[in-house]
Chain A
């Protein structure tokens, strides 16, 4: 796709609709289901026109539009293994656009462009132990990978999922987490920074979970998705476990306006996050002065 040295197998061609050629024109998609997840987040099931499959890889994002309000990048929550004619987005009410999206109902139409960016190279992860460290809303994009691993369980080694939330009220996907806790092929732990009276689990930031796990650095891939501040501390823990920067993947949030590597907003040094990111290895990130 681009004249870069990046692994091109982890990007995909964005959807084209009605034979039009403008890469700025969104597809008209329909919201099929809205599920209130927490006070801040809702999960949207989105149907593309004419039964098209989004065709994404884990870690990619789409541009979501309400014409008249604007457009914003949202990571895809569904794994490719769970994406047919619909896919899921987990959207936090964080501004004008997402605030209005939160008022939408099943049957309402929204604009979708994408998928964009470089996702996680799942094919390279096969046979490896996968350690996912997700903070806050980062669990939504992380699920695109976790569910892909679970649906192809025998292709991967151990699956370790560490999840940190600010408080129990912000914990996402409680029903799914309960399932992971029951399964013996997922090693799952959750912690909260600020517990309430009902909380009996781990307390502390996500890095406090690392002392409870052993990893084989020879065959582990770590994927961390969360707020920028989390990466500084999680990478220290992962390096301490013996992982190399090449084995650590992270997803970077930037202001993305065009999604096609032109508008300049998402640039991290010379790289366009919407093209060569949002997924980077820590080794790649170390080479950027502007990474964190």
Chain B
């Protein structure tokens, strides 16, 4: 996508739901309905600050059949390039933002016999929308939700009210941990597992499921990597014939966009592969942070996902 295809929205409500998470309600500026979507979808929020434009992906947590507003949850990141701080500190009720049409890279499998949903922290957001799709179907599902402590359990009242006993809650502060082996060894055939949250949680679930012989097609996870900070470097764009400086706290994609060069993207989180760019020359190493390229492709160093990956290099030439 590019910014020409965004929807104009206005912040209708903001609620601080945990010490770190704010809950935003967005309505279209013209008051009309927003596009319908499917549970698990995310939007890119375009935040135009004074110094730079941030574009961050956030899962939609509102009910997919509700078209008068979109809701997102934003966790304040400690190591932030500024997007989550912008949402927390700059955005007020009435602030106008641009968003992209929803994209679903974490959809529910429609022929699953059962859905096992596992969330850690802010990873609860896509599941809030998905359970709206699931409620009322005849397919069974369970939600397992792990948080640091009671005060960090975002959206729990909403979950309790709508889901009751189907929510299994785990507080780190009380040494309650998900029994991954117990959970994943006893599911009926045809169950699909979905996990969203911190990298460690995702790895535990995926590794345990594989160990118990789950087919890869039944294991789903989503983790939007925030582009990590790193050393500054320069990149030469061969088709545009310009050199772009990538500062330590900006991503390669943001820096290229800042120079006025458009790169097609979807997720901006290293998941979809849309911004894959060919590396023509490299003196140094690529620091791959995406979940799209295989290890072999990463080692070959012939392409890069500029949304999350960087380089430590003397020179880098991209086919842009």
Indicate whether A and B interact: no
User: Interface of A with B (CB < 8 Å)?
Assistant: none
Q: Which residues of B are interface residues toward A (Cβ below 8 A)?
A: none
